[in-house]
Amino acid sequence: MSADHHHPQELAPVEARIAAIESVLVEKGILDIDAVDEIVKHFEDNLGPMNGAKVVARAWTDAAYRERLLSDGTAAIKELGFSGPEGDYMVVVENTPQVHNLVVCTLCSCYPWPTLGLPPKWYKAPAYRSRAVREPRKLLAEMGTVIPDGVEIRVWDSSAEARYLVLPMRPDGTNTLTEEQLAGIVTRDSMIGVQRL
Amino acid sequence: MSGAPLDDEALPRDNGELVFEAPWQARALAVTVALVDGLGLPWDAFRSRLMAEIAQDPQCPYYESWGRALEALVIELDLATDAALDAATPTERAPL
Its ipTM equals 0.85
Q: Are A33 and A101 within one domain?
A: no
In a domain, A65, yes or no: yes
Q: Are A108 and A41 within one domain?
A: no
Can you give the pTM of this predicted structure?
0.68
DSSP sequence for B42-82:
-THHHHHHHHHHHHH-TTS-HHHHHHHHHHHHHHHTTSS-H
Q: Are A34 and A76 within one domain?
A: no
Query: Rounded CA gap, B94 and A16, in Å?
Result: 12
From the candidates B32, B50, B89, which should be mutated to test the interface with A, based on the most A CB atoms within 10 A? B89
pLDDT at B1: 45
CB-based contact, B77 to chain A, within 8 Å: no
Q: Note down the domain range covering B32.
A: 4-87
| A110 carries an active-site annotation | yes
Q: Note down the domain range covering A57.
A: 48-192
CATH number of the domain that residue A143 is part of: 3.90.330.10
The domain total for chain B is 1
Distance of alpha carbon A89 from the chain centroid: 14
- What is the per-residue pLDDT across A50-71, written as a single tens digit (0 to 9) for each? 789 999 999 999 999 999 999 9
In a domain, B52, yes or no: yes
Contact at CB, B95 and A6, closer than 8 angstroms: yes
Contact at CB, B21 and A117, closer than 8 angstroms: no
- What is the per-residue pLDDT across A123-165, written as a single tens digit (0 to 9) for each? 888 899 899 999 999 999 999 999 999 999 999 998 877 889 9
Query: Rounded CA gap, A83 and A164, in Å?
Result: 14
Cβ–Cβ under 8 Å, residues B67 and A18: yes
| A105 carries an active-site annotation | yes
Length of chain B: 96
Query: Rounded CA gap, A104 and A159, in Å?
Result: 9
